[in-house]
Amino acid sequence: MNVTTNAVFLALFALVTVLGLYASRWRRADLTGLHEWGLAGRRLGTVMSWFLLGGDLYTAYTFVAVPALVFAAGALGFFAIPYTVMTFPLGYVVLPRLWREAREHGHVTVADFVEHRFGSRTLALAIALTGILATMPYIALQLVGIQVTLGALGFPTHGWAGELPLLVAFGVLAAYTWSSGLRAPAMIAVVKDLLIYVTIIGALVLIPAKLGGFAHIFAALPPPKLLLKAPDAASLNGYSTYATLALGSAFALLLYPHSMTATLSASSDRVIRRNMALLPAYSLMLAFVALFGVMALAAGVGSMPEYAAQFKQYGPNFAVFALFQHFFPPWFAGLAFAAIGIGALVPAAIMSIAAANLFTRNVWRPIVARDASPAHETRMAKRVSLFVKFGALGFVLLVPAQFAIQLQLLGGVWIAQTLPAIVLGLFVPAVRARSLLAGWAAGLASGTWMVAQSGFKSAAFSLHVLGVAVPAYAALIALALNLAVVLAWSMLSVPFRAGEGQRDLSL
């Protein structure tokens, strides 16, 4: 445990705690209304919305997992770069229109939009429960990121002594989320993103200089990790996996409840369009983050005896921490670890708020308390946000970290199945709720089954086409089945028009 590293980390953690608690006074409003507590009053401008969406989409697990995947699997880990590039053009088309619908009708969640658009509480309930289900392992993984950070700082990670720092961190998170709602992560996201940019720039200057430059770094990589595994006569191997992971993840990313919550908090649809144009700056940052895995491989941190115990406990997830500890001075390592730790708190706060909004508006209110007042609705959302945080905390403390991480593979598979209801609902007037429900059920069941075939160790599933194995991301296969069922159900269920000899093929 290095005193300087821990002092810098704790000082920055204290700073964001103060900001989070102060956020309730920022742009004062009546926080007893869910649109104020859960959406910051829909008043975030371009700058704050940019930081919030960036802090929302680029989490601590991304900062840890992307270099970890590159460290373990090589070139395949770079699929995260093209998928974020593809995400923002999709968001530019879909999200402004969704924002206008939500603003016009007072929707707080995307399931509100679905219920209003299709007049189906059942479909809205399915969308809400899918969002909550996909969010829970995502929150748990933020805790895993904090656990690895605390381990790198020298704190014990076993027993009550190891669990206490994690409990304190999420107790603080719960306090400022309860008091300030979405305003807290919005303010903290500014600090978090600035710290991450400083960390990345410092690493890109310092580490390559000590390793002899990028040419030497790439020359030191094992040949199998430099390129994707080439196709052969029997299988498309890494090519199809890489392409489908990128495309499927692009469809899934903006559908997560925390992404939708950050979007609906914007002050106008113009703010969303500007941010879809500006957010690729984070894709550039993510490319640099992926390079940390290459640097860790070139530096050989996995074979350094001083990190043997941490690699045994955390596996490749410790690669970026070992890299920073080995090359950074103690004060800068503290700043980098604070960036990662705070980078877990911001998305965890938004995710818990998003899940609470979904449960309160689309599960609890229509089933239990249809006449709940806005204040009562907000109190329930606060309680649910606490339950979600500490439920995820209990999950991490009781379930080994490697299993928690594998469950994240299901997140994209599940949330991708909400795409037809949202996107077709926005752009296809004739689409019907029953066909969407049938497609959602088929996609959710098939996607879960495909990932289960690997024991939840891989999100890829091999299709066999003309004798050739085509490994593909299960989310994309399930989504294709989902859309096929929507189309087939619609064609079979629409009756013949009276007096006509043909079927009405509207969806």
**Which tens digits make up the pLDDT trace of 46-90?**
888 888 887 777 776 677 878 888 888 888 888 888 888 889 999
Q: What is the pLDDT of residue 505?
A: 40
Asked: is 3-401 a CATH 1.20.1730.10 domain? The reply is yes
pLDDT over 90 for what percent of the chain? 34
For 39, list phi and psi in degrees, rounded to 5: -130, 10
For residue range 376-403, list pLDDT tens digits in order: 888 898 888 888 877 776 666 665 555 5
Query: Which of 8-17, 48-57, 156-165, 416-425 has the highest mean predicted lDDT (pLDDT)?
Result: 416-425
Structure tokens at 135: 């969010």
pLDDT band, residue 374 (cuts 50/70/90): confident
Average pLDDT, the chain: 85
Beta strands per DSSP E along 341-465: 460-465
Q: Is pLDDT at 506 greater than 50 in this prediction?
A: no
* Burial class for 498, CB neighbours closer than 10 Å (0-12, 13-18, 19+): exposed
CA angle 8, 14, 18 (to 5 degrees): 145
Entry pTM: 0.89
Is the torsion defined by CA of 345, 351, 357, 360 positive or negative?
negative
- Does the structure show a pLDDT above 60 at 126? yes
Output the pLDDT for position 399: 57
Q: Strand locations in 16-157, DSSP E? A: none
Q: What is the pLDDT of residue 500?
A: 41
Cβ neighbours around 71 below 10 Å, total:
27
Q: Domain coordinates of the chain in residue numbers?
A: 3-401
